[in-house]
Amino acid sequence: MLLGRLSQISPHTEACLNTISRSQSTASIVVAPSVSSRPPLTRTTLNRVKSKPIYLPTTRHTARSFTTTVANMASATSFYGFETKDKKGKAYPLAQHQGKVILAVNTASKCGFTPQFGGLENLWKKVQSNEKYKNDFLILGFPCNQFGGQDPGSDDQIQEFCQVNYGVTFPVLGKTEVNGNNAEPVFEWMKAEKPGLMGLKRIKWNFEKFLIGRDGRVIQRWASTTSPEKLEADIMKELEKSKPAAKAEL
């Protein structure tokens, strides 16, 4: 079959390919010789072709993004070792929340799960109302447009939507990506720390949730279908378990 396809190259096509080959300085295109002068296609030849590596082209942006992600993941050993962007596009170091229990959620404003904003806000306020833990817990929203294009607005539009429709008061950061070459490094790290069902790391949809302990490690991961109301017991358990010991009075 392969011989048949190679023999279909017309003299005109062969001439064009030869022209391209001469004009390329960084890559060479080798035109197959005519059938009459080509050596037999043996099993050894096929095995040699199969063994050659295939290099996929990458853009400067992709290579730079991948390098940055790897560097960040290599240097960070906890959630608090990463840096992301806030709603204004400025650097937002997660180290500022070190020692707190964090619920990280990839959000969207036009999704069937978008009403979970209301549940997250209620959960946030409920913990905030507890004097014992009000400074020990934080919810962080990470807007993402990767799932069905369901968060298409600008950062300002997303902030307005969250506040007007659900009265959100917990931090909703700048729009980001959670899968692929441009994924937020902290999400790449969280996915590796706590894979989903069957060991799959990818975020499957909007409103997946990660619970981070005071030590910066991933404690739990929940799917989009798990409502915020069902998280309260686990969050309170983590807050109580990891509460710093009271200092002895002098």
Question: Where exactly are the structural domains of the chain?
Answer: 2-51, 79-241
pTM (2 d.p.): 0.69
State both tokens at 219. 């404690």
Q: What percent of the chain has pLDDT over 70?
A: 66
Provide CB contacts within 8 A for 119, sequence distance 6+: 227, 228, 229
pLDDT level of residue 59 (50, 70, 90 thresholds) = very low
201-205, 214-218, 245-249: the lowest-pLDDT one:
245-249
Residue 179, by phi and psi: left (phi above 0), alpha (psi -120 to 50) or beta?
beta
17 compared with 134, residue with greater pLDDT: 134
* CA 203/CA 224 separation, integer angstroms: 10
CATH says 79-241 is which class?
A: alpha beta
pLDDT at position 206 over 80: yes
116-128 and 155-166 helices, crossing angle to 10°: 70
For residue 61, the model assigns a pLDDT of 42
- Summarised one tens digit per residue, pLDDT across range 75-117 is 678 999 999 999 999 999 999 999 999 999 999 999 999 999 9
For residue 198, the model assigns a pLDDT of 83
For residue 183, the model assigns a pLDDT of 97
44-53, 180-189, 192-201: the lowest-pLDDT one:
44-53
State both tokens at 17. 């390919």
- The mean of the pLDDT values for the chain is 79
For residue 98, the model assigns a pLDDT of 94
- Summarised one tens digit per residue, pLDDT across range 209-234 is 999 999 999 999 999 999 999 999 99
pLDDT level of residue 175 (50, 70, 90 thresholds) = very high
Q: What percent of the chain has pLDDT over 90?
A: 62
* CA 9 and chain centroid, separation: 44
State both tokens at 24. 């390329």
For residue 49, the model assigns a pLDDT of 38
pLDDT at position 60 over 90: no
For residue 245, the model assigns a pLDDT of 52
* CA 244/CA 232 separation, integer angstroms: 20
Residue 188: closest CA among 82, 100, 115, 113: 82
Query: What's the one-letter identity of residue 190?
Result: M
CB atoms within 10 A of CB 175: 21
| Residues designated as active site | 111
55-59, 94-98, 196-200: the lowest-pLDDT one:
55-59
For residue 159, the model assigns a pLDDT of 97
Mean pLDDT for the stretch of residues 15-42: 45
For residue 71, the model assigns a pLDDT of 47
Please write down the HEC assignment for all residues of 50-111: HHCCCCCCCCHHHHHHHHHHHHHHHHCCCHHHCEEECCCCCEEEHHHHCCCEEEEEEECCCC
